[in-house]
Chains A and B, each alone.
Chain A
Amino acid sequence: MNTELLINLSYIVSAILFVFGLKMLGSPATARRGNLFSSIGMLIAIVVTLTSKGLLPWENVIIGFIIGSTIGAFAARKVEMTGMPEMVALFNGFGGAASLLVGMVATYTTGNSTFVNITIILSILIGGVTLTGSIIAWGKLSERLPTKAIMFSGQQIFNGALVLAILASAVMFCQEPTNPQWLYAVLGLSLLFGVMAVIPIGGADMPVVIALLNSYSGLAACAAGFVLDNNLLIVAGALVGASGIILTNIMCKAMNRSLSNVLFSGFGAVTTSSTKVEGEVKPISADDAYLIMEAAQSVVFVPGYGMAVAQAQHVVRELADHLEDNGCDVKFAIHPVAGRMPGHMNVLLAEASVPYDQLVEMDDINPQLPNTDLAVVIGANDVVNPAANKDKGSPLYGMPVINVDEARTVFVLKRSMGSGFSGVDNPLFVGDNTRMLFGDAKESISHIVGEFKG
């Protein structure tokens, strides 16, 4: 049979496996098998491609595979679950870089049509922006770069000029494809644009940025698919592109901000609430907290990233086990922006062996909270701030939050008094039904676990 035909038929099989793989990601019960299906699809695509006539020299193929697999496998084994955002950020960058290089390689072919030249420019542009943007995002996430938004006067004008310069170079390249200077101009300006696009975004907004860059890495693959006239690249790239856009949208909604607000306005401009929080903070000791927990019929834990920083998730799970043995109904309420990337908190809890049927999304837990005996807030602050519902003057107003204040009793585990990341006061801390358990979260919980054991 004709190899070209065989390859394309196999690509259809690959595309079907990618689609089924994503579909099976619809439930934690089937997700792992879905990932396996997707990887088989990828394997088929790679193997049949190796039978095509025009191929990179064999020794180069093997060198590329060995280098890539070694680094990939090493990274996948070594990465800590807390470090997933950094890994995804870097991988977005690699994906962008690969598409950029494919675009560059295509310029060595002479006699490309204008359509092909435009798609080459697109794959270099999107790939380049994804590459440098991801490196900056990675730097901010790993705190190798300053996490605060970098703004300077005339930034908008500079970026506008940059876009115009990219457009002009792109047009010139299409006019004169043989003159490499326009190509290098597009390349250099795209790389610079990626940097400029991410530096004005603060560290706290990086979850949105990596979701968006995830999308770009897919679109870059799409563009490379247009360059090479390859359907599978377009289909797979579009799936990834759509995924990134959806996640970006979810994160923006959960923070009650528009995408343009995240991308262009920076974060860290200190906003002050118009209403001052007044009331008395009521502390509780770990011993008294134990007595209340022992009597509780239903407990909802609300973890924030502070819990993961304190590495308290394991001892929290231990406490949850004791509560369950005690006949208590235990759930974990997860806000969409808990953690440092979409779904991050769920992975951290799954790593601590919390079963996934105990992980409940915000919209599902909120109606249950008025009938909950006890809500335990660990390392979360803004995502449980009732001012977001009630106080029109609060900068958080309108942001969806977990309504822990509606539970019969609320424990807030906190090192000391102080406002959350956004610098907004939290009226929850002075609520009538709130008790503050001050001190290191891990130590406090360990103490309570000790009482259950004793």
Chain B
Amino acid sequence: MEAIYLSFILMLSIFLGFELISKVPATLHTPLMSGSNAISGITVVGALTAATAGSDQMAIYLGTAAVALATINVVGGYMVTDRMLAMFKKKD
């Protein structure tokens, strides 16, 4: 049942994603990609809980590496997207 429930969420999210993204104008496709990088850094949430204090030492190391990598995406992705979007100005 769990598998079905998760697949349901997956399917609806993909449809929602298509609807949302198809409205993003071509002008903003580069910030869209760097912003997507940041959102895919959501794996950090999984990485934080995948290994726990009682886990194998190796699992803890791998989990820490996963947190670091995903954090690069989150911090770098949002910051560079903001830097880019700040350049888009209307004619004054």
User: Which chain A positions have C-beta within 8 A of B85?
Assistant: 28, 31-32, 35
Q: With an 8 A cutoff between CB atoms, is A422 at the interface?
A: no
Q: A226 within 8 Å of B by Cβ? A: yes
Contact between chains at B66 and A49 (CB < 8 Å): no
Q: If A105-B51, A238-B17 touch, does A232 touch B32 (CB 8 Å cutoff)?
A: no
Residues of B within 8 A of A57 (CB): 53, 60
A347 and B87: CB pair below 8 A? yes
Knowing A88-B33, A242-B18, A243-B17, the reply to whether A42 touches B41 (Cβ < 8 A) is yes
A residues within 8 A CB of B91?
A: 355, 357-358
Which residue of A has the minimal Cβ distance to B24?
A: A25
The residues in A between 2 and 30 inclusive whose CB is less than 8 angstroms from any CB of B are 18-19, 21-23, 25-29
User: How far, in whole Å, are A221 and B63 apart by their CA atoms in the complex?
Assistant: 15
- Across the interface, B88 reaches (CB within 8 A) one of A19, A241, A243, A350, namely A350
Interface residue tally on A, bucketed by range? 35 or more
Q: Does A94 contact B (CB under 8 A)?
A: yes
CB atoms of B76 and A73 under 8 A apart: yes
Report how far A242 CA is from B40 CA in the complex, Å.
Answer: 12
From A286-294, A336-344, A431-439, give the one contacting chain B. Answer: A336-344
Contact in complex: B89, A346 (CB < 8 Å):
no
Please report the total number of B residues contacting A with Cβ < 8 Å. Answer: 80
Kindly supply a per-residue 1/0 record for chain B positions 35-67, scoring 1 wherever the CB is within 8 Å of any chain A CB and 0 otherwise.
Answer: 111111111111111111101101110111111
Cα of A395 to Cα of B13 in the assembled complex, Å: 39
- How distant is A75 from chain B, measured CB to nearest CB, in Å? 5
A34 CB to nearest chain B CB (Å)? 8
Q: Does A136 contact B (CB under 8 A)?
A: no
In the complex the two chains form, is B40's CB within 8 Å of A237's CB? Answer: yes
Task: For the complex, give the distance between the alpha carbons of A28 and B87 in Å.
Answer: 10
A-B interface contact total, Cβ < 8 Å: 365
Instruction: Name A353's contact: one of B64, B83, B89 (CB within 8 Å).
Output: B89
Contact call A102/B66, Cβ cutoff below 8 A? yes
In the docked arrangement, what's the CA distance between A115 and B51, Å? Answer: 19
Among the listed B24, B26, B39, B87, which residue makes an inter-chain contact with A38, where contact means beta carbons less than 8 Å apart?
Answer: B39
How far apart are B24's CB and chain A's nearest CB, in angstroms?
5
> With contacts A45-B45, A239-B20 known, is A75 near B80, CB below 8 A?
yes
**Interface check A244, CB cutoff 8 A:** yes
User: Given A28-B88, A60-B64 in contact, is the A106-B28 Cβ separation under 8 Å?
Assistant: no
B37 and A217 form a contact (CB under 8 A): yes
Chain A residues positioned under 8 Å from B26 (CB to CB)? 250, 334, 336, 342-343, 346, 361
**Beta-carbon contact of B32 and A101 below 8 Å:** no
Q: Do A217 and B40 touch across chains, with their CB atoms under 8 A apart?
A: yes
> Which residue of the partner chain, among B27, B35, B70, B77, contacts A361 with CB atoms under 8 Å?
B27
Q: Which of A26, A64, A87, A115 touches B64 (beta carbons < 8 Å)?
A: A64
* Residues in A whose Cβ lies below 8 Å from that of B47: 56, 64, 98, 101-102, 105
CA distance A245 to B13 in the complex (A): 14
Cβ contact within 8 Å between A350 and B89: yes
A246 and B84 form a contact (CB under 8 A): no
B25 and A240 contact, CB distance less than 8 A: no
Q: Is the CB of B33 within 8 A of A214?
A: yes
Write the chain A residue with the least CB distance to B17: A242
Would you give the shortest CB distance from B12 to chain A, in whole angstroms?
Answer: 8
B9 contacts A23, C-beta separation under 8 Å: no
| Interfacial chain A residues near B62, Cβ < 8 Å | 101, 104-105
Interface with B: A77-85, A267-275, A382-390, which one?
A: A77-85
Q: Closest chain A residue to B29 by CB distance?
A: A343
Contact of B36 among A29, A60, A67, A244 (CB under 8 A): A244
The contact of B35 among A38, A227, A233, A356, by CB within 8 Å, is A38
Question: How far apart are A254's CB and chain B's nearest CB, in angstroms?
Answer: 9
Report the bound CA distance from A23 to B74 in whole Å: 19
Per the bound structure, the CA–CA distance linking A106 and B43 in Å amounts to 13
Complex alpha-carbon distance, A346 and B81, angstroms: 14
Q: How far is the CA of A353 from the CA of B89 in the complex (A)?
A: 7
Residues of chain A within 8 A of B39, CB atoms compared: 18, 38, 42, 218, 236, 239-240
A61-B50 Cα distance, complex, nearest whole Å: 12
B contact residues around A104 at 8 Å (CB): 59, 62
Residues on B with C-beta less than 8 A from A221 are 40, 42-43, 46
A-B contact pairs, 24 of them (CB 8 A): A27-B25, A28-B88, A42-B42, A52-B48, A60-B63, A64-B64, A68-B44, A72-B72, A72-B76, A76-B83, A91-B37, A108-B56, A217-B37, A230-B45, A232-B45, A234-B13, A236-B40, A239-B16, A247-B21, A334-B26, A341-B30, A342-B33, A343-B26, A357-B90
Residues of B within 8 A of A (CB): 2-3, 6, 9-10, 13-14, 16-18, 20-53, 55-56, 58-60, 62-92
Given contacts A50-B48, A73-B76, 15 further A-B contacts (CB under 8 A): A22-B20, A32-B82, A56-B51, A65-B67, A68-B44, A69-B75, A72-B77, A91-B34, A91-B37, A217-B37, A224-B46, A234-B9, A239-B21, A242-B14, A334-B27
Which 5 residue pairs are nearest across A and B when measured between Cβ atoms? A68-B71, A242-B17, A343-B29, A64-B67, A72-B76
